[in-house]
Chain A
Amino acid sequence: MNKLLAAMLLFLAPVAFAGDVLHIYNWNNYIAPETLARFKEQCRCRVAYDTYGSNDELLAKLAAGAKGYDLLVPSGNAVESLLKQQALQAIDKKLLTNLKNINPSFLNSSFDRGNVYSIPYAYTTTLIGYNEDKIRQLGIPVNTWAAIFDPIYLAPMKGRVTVLDDQRELMAAALKYLGYSVNDGDEAHWRQAADVIMKAKPYWAAFMNTGYIRLLSTGDIWLVHGYSNDMFQANDAAIKAGKGIRISYTAPREGAVLALDSMVIHKDAPRADLAHQFINFMLEGRNAAELTNLTGSGSPNLDAMQYIRAGIVRNEGIFPGKQVLDKLEQLQDLDRRKRRLLSRLWTEIKLSP
């Protein structure tokens, strides 16, 4: 009998240990493996790590009833939506000794005044990336959205341009091109933006969210509308391929979208304590720097700057200067009527010849 009990205890022991699990739901490729390994060591817990490819995927999964996540890393508009659903819990800042490392200009965003629920993790900008030699040869200006919308510039690049397959991002670029805010809600302005997109569409090769990283690095595609961290990856891939293709990226002078991804804790988080530990851990300069060095995302962490490779710090595409930063805007969440209207416009855009 005793032996049986002992055997049962042996079976139970690892289960008790497995109880210390932090469930993280983060973007694809958005943490350095060594950072995660160090965190597990420090907190003496396991981490169940799930990933998503877009804010929509995250929101759709939670809306469909996914449970058990402690920590999420949504962009501003998704934080806004989660807050409206009352799906988040307030963060106990007394536990965040490293919060002072965050650059104040990334605090107090409109979606969460006072950062009651969200702590900045990293940011990306949506901009124009291009094959340096090809674009210089063709003499196309890359500091304006005209590069992806004006048929005059597009004609010599026909079939060599891709844009994001993302309703909000592409509309935001078109709205900026027309001189409106990315959050302009006027239906007439949306119409105008959709017309701009439909006029340019015949010249584009495809709508693409990740595929352009490879195509840009191989030289198949010359100019893309995409995310700054993806351009960083594309440049890396081009250097590794060694075919002499050079990739650059700049934020257009009209302004662009800034996506600030923040750490938030789910209302029903089973382990809010571990989530707080993780947030504080990621606020350490060294850990935040590893993220930027690996992925090329911008860091809101002032203490991280000393650990980030010099080439990245100097890259204006990743760390935009003050002038550009002032023109970047974060997307705001849309209400249900606007979402349906946008999806109809998007269907029209996709179906147009």
Chain B
Amino acid sequence: MNRFLQRSLLSGPPLLYLLVFFLLPTLIMVVVSFGWPGEQGGLAPLWLRDAQGFHLDLTLDNYADFVSTTLYLRLLAKSFWYAVLTTLICLVMAYPLAMLIAKSDKRHRNLMVLLVILPFWSNFLIRVYAWMIILGPQAGLSQALNGVLALFGWGPVSLLFSPFAVLVGLVYVHLPFMILPLYANLEKHDPGLMDAARDLGANRWQCFWRVTFPLSLPGVLAGSALVFIPALGAFAVPDILGGTGGIMIGNVIKMQFLEARDWPFGSTLSIVLTLFALGVTGIAAWLVRRRGGSYV
């Protein structure tokens, strides 16, 4: 009993927090997605009163609007590819770095981890705006690139306001979320495993591919989820760096709550996005589990 009390005291507050600030809002959003938009914004009353008394006034209209055109599915697909590319690039960039940190001297590790999270000390928007200057047409990067292109007789390209800029921004913002779980995983690997693998005749590549990588799959999965899900719903980065083509589903959801003052449709889009993200991460976890066997 005492043990039970202890456990509930410890797990109670975080559970309550998640219940009140995650589950409840999500349920509210589910309900709102079946409501009508208010004439001046917000939500129309969910209950109607007529001769038969009070009754619920819900609709499937919002979902019907969602599927009545391929527009929103194309938008979701576009956001999906941006998120997948961001995740893959982050993974390829973060893995060697996480390994380097994990294998370096214990005294330096904390400093290196600190350096990875150092960007968080400044505001997210300021860091994204900084990319606007770095990629701008007057900056050295664009000038140098276009100088080289001119040598081959190719016309100048614009780095800023392009899908490339959106990808750069997304990777930059999410990279630490890939590095940290990977590092946390790789750091725990027993160095003895490498010795054993080498003793059994594995070369370096085999050591990595058949021992280290499978063991790190939980870290890869955690990092990928931490990057993929927020990247899928990103709206500030495409807004600032994307130019005329920079729109993702996050921007359209934001638009429903601001310009369109249409909470029900915004909720519908959010629910679809949540289900989609859950589906994709679920499938990814299942695939990894199947291939990774007992490691995960």
Give A contacts to B, CB under 8 Å: 54, 56-57, 59-60, 63-64, 81, 84-85, 159, 166-168, 201-202, 204-207, 218, 220, 333, 335-336, 339-340, 342-344, 346-348, 350-351, 353
Contact = CB atoms under 8 A, between A and B. Distances in A.
A60 B72 contact: no
B262 A340 contact: yes
Contact of A347 (B38, B136, B138, B252): B252
A350 B247 contact: yes
Interface of B: 36-42, 65, 69, 71-72, 74-75, 78, 136-138, 158, 161, 243-245, 247, 251-252, 255-262, 265
A336 to B, nearest CB: 5
A204 B158 CA distance: 12
Query: Chain A binding site: helix, strand, loop or mixed by DSSP?
Result: helix
A205 B41 contact: no
A60 B261 contact: yes
A206 B65 CA distance: 28
A290 to B, nearest CB: 30
Pick the 4 closest A-B CB pairs, nearest first: A343-B260, A350-B247, A206-B243, A63-B41
Contact of B158 (A159, A346, A347): A159
Given A60-B41, A351-B74, A351-B78, A340 B65 contact: yes
Nearest to B68: A344
A340 B41 CA distance: 11
A342 B258 CA distance: 13
Contacts of A346: 255, 259
18 contacts: A60-B257, A63-B42, A63-B261, A81-B41, A85-B40, A159-B158, A201-B244, A204-B244, A205-B158, A206-B161, A220-B136, A220-B137, A220-B138, A333-B40, A339-B259, A340-B65, A343-B265, A344-B65
Contacts of B256: 343
B262 A344 contact: no
A51 to B, nearest CB: 16
Contacts of A339: 37, 259-262
Most buried by A among B38, B69, B251, B260: B260
A335 B259 contact: no
Given A84-B40, A220-B137, A347 B71 contact: yes
B33 to A, nearest CB: 14
A320 B69 CA distance: 43
Given A347-B72, A351-B74, A342 B260 contact: yes
B39 A205 contact: no
Contacts of B40: 59, 63, 81, 84-85, 333
A339 to B, nearest CB: 5
A144 B251 CA distance: 31
Contacts of B243: 205-207
B52 to A, nearest CB: 26
B75 A347 contact: yes
A206 B259 contact: no
A352 B41 CA distance: 27
Nearest to A54: B258
A54 B257 CA distance: 13
Contacts of B161: 205-206
A60 B265 contact: no
A348 B265 CA distance: 16
A204 B69 CA distance: 26
A139 to B, nearest CB: 22
A275 B12 CA distance: 47
Contacts of A85: 40
B261 A56 contact: yes
Contacts of B65: 340, 344
A177 B260 CA distance: 24
B137 A344 contact: no
B40 to A, nearest CB: 5
A299 to B, nearest CB: 28
A207 B239 CA distance: 9
A168 B260 CA distance: 10
Contacts of B75: 347, 351
Contacts of A168: 259
Contacts of B262: 336, 339-340, 343
Contacts of A335: 39
A329 B244 CA distance: 27
A343 B261 CA distance: 10
Contacts of B245: 350, 353
Contacts of A351: 71, 74-75, 78, 247
